[in-house]
């Protein structure tokens, strides 16, 4: 997963030998899963007693967790496929709490409807808990079942020892639509480990570009995101159709990392546009860092986002970024990079802006370099993993203090 600096537990003496359990409904490759992995590993390196509660998955990430001393309590079902059970079945949580005996729970949510039953069981048992919201969106016509979930969510925000949002956009949504009490809640941005901030390795850059047949003077444009409509690949395809008629086209190559339901359809579109030789679809990659090293810029024209880790990683690597102004992305980019019109409001404008920005960046290496430097400086200030860990540990410690202390 990356690196996190080991720090003495004495910095958070209030935690002592308290048992901390992270509970999440994301056991895949999503941002919430990566956040939970980063936090649990960082705390384990500090000598804290950490248990991760989630659906079972065994891979390199879980092996590293075990090596560091992170314990696992596997839920006996797939939380991504059985949302009804996460809302209604408190028995799973009761069995987990009996086995773990947590002193504090940290619920890492994919959205406000996440982990409802487990939080209700925590309230009944008097276990202090913290909620970390990775994303929030407003359902325009909620079903009765969803409306009931939102009632539970509002109650759980009131009862939580603390509520953390990963962006100000998410925090505002929680206050406005989801019943988070006024004055409650704070923002702690996601963070990435120091390995993402290291200078690009020239040897890695050369070898990866050679694999693709990309010349050292060509401009390699990276997108990291699952192959689904929400990530705006239709806008990228629209931009490719226009760019192939421009002078910069012969120097442009694209790397798309991710898997998903649209893979075959996207490959067909690329063939129809006769641009397949400029687009390299690499599927899901365990290690994306070499591709940040190999690339010259980053693009993500999403329709919906929380606080994308891929953008943080690109910024940390010093890549100029263009991304749609949705969710937490404007907060993430600030004034340093190119904010695109949301495809939800005007997809044609999104396509046009991708084209014009690529024409400018592809023809001016100095412009790319300056944009990348500003991007990296912002990432260093806001999106370091050790900052995220320290701020979150402070919240956990406060949650364990007796009332009035």
* Mean pLDDT estimate for the chain: 93
What structural domains does the chain harbor?
9-191+384-400 (3.40.50.2000), 194-382 (3.40.50.2000)
| CA dihedral over 189, 193, 199, 202, signed as positive or negative | negative
Express each pLDDT in 305-325 by its tens digit.
Answer: 989 999 999 999 999 999 999
- Output phi, psi for 132, to 5 deg: -115, 115
pLDDT at 3 over 60: no
Q: Which pLDDT score is estimated for 13?
A: 59
Q: CA 308 to CA 215: how far, in whole Å? A: 29
Express each pLDDT in 369-388 by its tens digit.
Answer: 999 999 999 999 999 999 99
3-state secondary structure of 18: coil
Question: Whole-model pTM?
Answer: 0.91
Contacts of 252 (CB under 8 A, 6+ apart): 218, 219, 221, 243, 278, 358, 362
Span 335-343, average pLDDT: 92
Confidence tier at 167 by pLDDT (50, 70, 90)? very high
Span 186-208, average pLDDT: 96
Express each pLDDT in 110-145 by its tens digit.
Answer: 999 999 999 999 999 999 999 999 999 888 888 998
Span 340-351, average pLDDT: 97
Span 153-170, average pLDDT: 96
Q: Which pLDDT score is estimated for 404?
A: 44
How does strand 252-257 pair with strand 162-165?
unpaired
Q: CA 132 to CA 112: how far, in whole Å? A: 10
Q: Which pLDDT score is estimated for 5?
A: 42
Q: Is 168 exposed, middle or buried (0-12, 13-18, 19+ CB in 10 A)?
A: middle
pLDDT at 255 over 60: yes
Q: Which pLDDT score is estimated for 6?
A: 44
Q: Which pLDDT score is estimated for 28?
A: 84
Using alpha carbons, select from 34, 21, 63 the residue that is nearest to residue 313: 34
Span 319-339, average pLDDT: 94
């Amino acid at each position: 997963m990356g690196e996190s600096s080991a720090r003495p537990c004495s910095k958070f003496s209030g935690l002592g030998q308290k048992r901390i359990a992270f509970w999440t409904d994301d056991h895949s490759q999503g941002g919430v899963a990566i956040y939970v992995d980063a936090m649990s590993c960082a705390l384990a390196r500090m000598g804290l007693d950490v248990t991760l509660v989630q659906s079972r998955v065994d891979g390199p990430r879980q092996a590293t967790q075990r090596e560091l001393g992170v314990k696992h309590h596997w839920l006996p079902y797939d939380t991504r496929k059985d949302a009804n059970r996460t809302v209604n079945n408190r028995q799973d949580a009761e069995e987990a709490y009996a086995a773990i005996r947590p002193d504090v729970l940290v619920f890492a949510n994919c959205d406000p409807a996440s982990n409802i039953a487990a939080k209700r069981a925590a309230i009944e048992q008097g276990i202090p808990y913290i909620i970390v919201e990775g994303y929030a969106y407003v359902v325009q016509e909620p079903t009765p079942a969803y409306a009931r979930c939102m009632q539970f969510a509002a109650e759980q925000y009131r009862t939580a020892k603390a509520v953390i949002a990963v962006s100000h956009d998410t925090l505002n949504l929680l206050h406005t639509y989801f019943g988070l009490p006024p004055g409650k809640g704070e923002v702690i941005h996601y963070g990435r480990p120091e390995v993402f901030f290291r200078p690009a390795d020239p040897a890695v850059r050369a070898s990866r570009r050679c694999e693709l047949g990309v010349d050292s003077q060509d401009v390699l444009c990276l997108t990291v995101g699952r192959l689904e409509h929400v990530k705006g690949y239709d806008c990228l395809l629209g931009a490719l159709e226009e760019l192939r008629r421009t002078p910069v086209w012969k120097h442009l190559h694209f790397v798309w990392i991710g898997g998903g339901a649209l893979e075959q359809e996207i490959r067909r579109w690329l063939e129809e546009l006769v641009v397949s030789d400029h687009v390299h679809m690499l599927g899901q990659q365990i290690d994306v860092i070499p591709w940040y090293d190999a690339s010259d810029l980053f693009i993500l024209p999403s329709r919906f986002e929380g606080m994308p880790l891929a953008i943080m990683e690109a910024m940390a690597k010093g890549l100029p970024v263009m991304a749609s102004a949705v969710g937490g992305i404007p907060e993430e980019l600030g004034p340093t990079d190119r904010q695109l019109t949301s495809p939800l409001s005007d997809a044609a404008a999104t396509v046009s802006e991708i084209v014009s920005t690529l024409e400018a960046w592809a023809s001016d290496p100095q412009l790319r370099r300056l944009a990348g430097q500003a991007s990296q400086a912002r990432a260093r200030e806001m999106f370091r993993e050790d900052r995220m860990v320290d701020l979150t540990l402070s919240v956990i410690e406060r949650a364990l203090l007796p009332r009035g202390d």
